[in-house]
Chain A
Amino acid sequence: MKSILCVPLDPVHDVGIKLIRSALAQRGHRTELLSPDLPAEEVVRRAAAEPWDYIMVSRTLGYGVAEILARFVDLLDAAGVRERSKIVIGGKPVTSELAAELGFDRGFGEHSTVDEVVAYVEGREAGAGATAAARTKPDVTAGFTYDVRHPRVAELLSTITERTLAWAQARTTPALRRVRLREAILDAPEAERNRLWQEYHTLCDGPIAEGNRDGSLPQGVRRVREGEARALRALLAERRAVGARGIRHAGAKPLMFKFLGSGCPVMDIVHAKVCERYGLDGFLLINPSWEARYEGLLDGLLTHENDGTITSEQNIRLVRELLDPASLLTVRAHRGLNTPETVLLAARAGADLTKINLVYGSLGAGTDPERLAVDGLEAMRIAARHGMGFDIPGNDELSGVPAWKSLAGQLATAAIGCALGARPILKPLFCYGPHIVLHGLMADNFVDYNLAKVRSLRSLVDAPIWPGEPIAFMTQTEDRVQSANATSYHAALAATAGVEAITVASTDEAYSRGPIALASRIDSIRAVADAYRFMGGAQLQPTAGVDGFTQRITDGIVTTLEEVARHESLPQAILAGALGNAEDGAYPGTFGRGSVTADGR
């Protein structure tokens, strides 16, 4: 047991010393708290009257205060207190250096915890706050039955699923042939791989085959040097997170994800490690847009000087290897011509989730609907085989598609995924999208309509919901503070909605002229953590308008699915504009058009 004299030299800000005194007393230490308005001479007299182990002074530093404290230490010295007591200072701007400069044995600042002070008194290492807390990997899809609660919607989804599976059954694409080869390469002995790669390259576009065979990589792409990877591993081995914290204040959800995709896996990993320290739960690996246009994937550990990190097996593997084992990793697969192969590589490299939306991938992300349907179904089978969930981003809303069409497309993709044994995740967009702007749906607030999307989905199906992508899309500006605020308000809304996860942008979200900086990622995480602290277990209250919006969205979903079910299959419905048309601003993609052929297996 130690004896501690607590001295609030600050007439106002003495809550810190009171908290510390309470914690010390609970641990069985003897404490005495002096009145905050005693003159220095009286404090010194009391300090000298007993053999205290610690004299713990609390003072917020301002102009001229340093001189007062230095004089106070001199008085303690003169009274012989220092010979038997350690003299400690705590206050907002206090640092170890400043404390030493003023003559104190130790200083604690605004980032110090009560536990750290108690640990110092007890001569032990602080537990909480000094190292990362042990984390366990969450499962976003656990506990959901995927039961469709709305009989008509269940019937329509069943029809759409059956027709689409039947339509795709006798069809194949170069991606399906490549994924079988790629699986063979992954499992083949070294001696056979060269032959298999040669065959693989006959199914690739020129730049991919040449990049892999001859090393003439696309412009802006280079191999990561062995020394770079080694230096990265060394850097991460010698550092560890200090003061690791969680984001959520109350409850275990929503989990929080961020995009990775600077172009460089080395940069991505450093960003991710720092974000892990701030409590992030997972990351979405995003590929470059040009990768989507080519048949085939580049192989090797590759870095790229523009947006999007190349989804090679080695890149995914390195990111996965260096992330915390409890962090979730999602790899985007649905953009372009390599969907099944991307899912296979992601699964083999240890990713936890992938991203497939047959509708958005076709309407907003440029892939031919028929091609993506055939590829996407195979990708879902691979995901199911490897126990990977897949999320279904609703970013087609950004093209101008109304929310109900985007949500109907998500439900159709989810139903097909479930039929193939996969575990889908619905991703309504928390956004200020074009359809919403044009129709004044958020004229009063951003709460009702976003919440209505979640309520509508919940009324239709028992499935995980993960608003994205990122939340607050099109509400953020290039103003850093506004951007962080917008993200944090939407995160608070997501917590109110009780969703499973959210994707959160950096404060560079609206800045499109350069890469995202790590500081901007930290800023938005801190803003969300503050919002969660502010909200705790409280809830945002929508206006009465939410009920009307929910009904309108649900009716729209039913009407859209009715229209989709009139077509031969989901891709035919997409091509006919049932899930978004030219008037909405949505156009079927063209990558891979004409590449679906009869399956001659």
Chain B
Amino acid sequence: MRTERSGPALSRVLDAVDVETYLVCSSAQEGRELARLLGRELNLGDVDVMFEEFDGYGVRVRLRAMVHRPAARYAWLGEVEKEGRG
């Protein structure tokens, strides 16, 4: 059982992982870049910045990494073990 970002817990993510936090930064642009970098540092790959609000001190952000997109092979479904690959 492997997904794009495989692992015993990640493979059980139904669809997406969201990360919400506050990043200290000096501009909205820097905040956005840091948010994307955070996704990579957390091994979530390329994340989508779903929400961001820069307030002068930092940015309130919500990031999303898709683990299982619709129509993908869902590792949590356990289909592969029953049928074999392919």
Contact = CB atoms under 8 A, between A and B. Distances in A.
B70 A515 contact: yes
B62 A480 contact: yes
Given A480-B62, A515-B15, A519-B18, A305 B72 contact: yes
Given A232-B77, A515-B15, A517-B16, A304 B82 contact: no
A306 B66 CA distance: 13
A518 B71 contact: no
Contacts of A242: none
Contact of A479 (B15, B51, B71, B82): B51
A232 B82 CA distance: 12
Contacts of A477: 51
B74 interface: yes
A231 B77 contact: yes
Contacts of B78: 231, 234-235
A222 interface: yes
B55 interface: no
Given A227-B82, A478-B50, A264 B77 contact: no
B82 A514 contact: no
Interface string B6-39: 0000000011101010000000000000000000
A139 B77 CA distance: 34
Interface string A264-285: 1011001000000000000000
Contact of B71 (A305, A513, A517): A305
Contacts of A306: 70
Nearest to B80: A227
Interface string A470-485: 0000000111100000
B79 A514 contact: no
B4 interface: no
B41 interface: no
A37 B77 CA distance: 52
B25 to A, nearest CB: 18
Interface residues of A, number: 32
B18 A515 contact: no
Interface string A208-226: 0000000000001010010
Interface class of chain B by DSSP: mixed
A467 interface: no
Given A220-B71, A227-B82, A514-B64, A478 B51 contact: yes
Contacts of B71: 220, 222, 263-264, 303-305
A22 B34 CA distance: 54
B14 A303 contact: no
Contacts of A263: 70-71
A149 B66 CA distance: 52
Contact of A267 (B15, B18, B62, B82): B15
Interface string A498-534: 0000000000100101110111000000000000000
Contacts of B16: 514-515, 517, 519
Contact of A230 (B53, B66, B74, B82): B82
Nearest to B15: A517
A311 to B, nearest CB: 15
A525 to B, nearest CB: 16
A518 B15 contact: yes
A565 to B, nearest CB: 45
Interface residues on chain B, size class = 20 to 34
Contacts of A228: 74, 77, 79
B76 to A, nearest CB: 8
A262 interface: yes
A174 B78 CA distance: 42
A227 B74 CA distance: 12
Contact of B69 (A235, A305, A480): A305
Nearest to A518: B14
A304 B71 CA distance: 6
A513 B48 contact: yes
Contact of A235 (B48, B66, B77): B77
Nearest to B52: A478
B53 A479 contact: yes
A508 B78 CA distance: 27
| Among B15, B20, B64: residue with most chain A CB under 10 A | B15
| Among B16, B79, B82, B83: residue with most chain A CB under 10 A | B79
A22 B79 CA distance: 49
B61 to A, nearest CB: 11
Contacts of A231: 77-79, 82
B50 A264 contact: no
A305 B70 contact: yes
Given A479-B53, A519-B16, A514 B48 contact: yes
Given A263-B70, A305-B72, A514-B66, A227 B51 contact: no
B62 to A, nearest CB: 6
Given A305-B71, A480-B51, A514-B66, A225 B79 contact: yes
A511 B15 contact: no
| Among B48, B71, B79: residue with most chain A CB under 10 A | B71
Contact of A304 (B51, B62, B70, B83): B70
B13 to A, nearest CB: 9
A266 B77 contact: yes
A461 B67 CA distance: 48
A335 to B, nearest CB: 19
Contacts of B68: 267
Listed from nearest, the 7 A-B pairs whose CB atoms lie closest are A227-B83, A264-B70, A305-B71, A263-B70, A517-B16, A478-B51, A231-B79
14 contacts: A222-B71, A225-B79, A231-B79, A235-B77, A267-B15, A304-B70, A305-B72, A306-B70, A480-B62, A511-B51, A515-B15, A517-B16, A517-B18, A518-B15
Given A263-B71, A264-B70, A305-B69, 7 more contacts: A220-B71, A222-B71, A231-B79, A234-B82, A508-B50, A515-B69, A518-B14
Interface of B: 14-16, 18, 20, 48, 50-51, 53, 62, 64, 66, 68-72, 74, 77-79, 82-83
Interface of A: 220, 222, 225, 227-228, 230-232, 234-235, 262-264, 266-267, 270, 303-306, 477-480, 508, 511, 513-515, 517-519
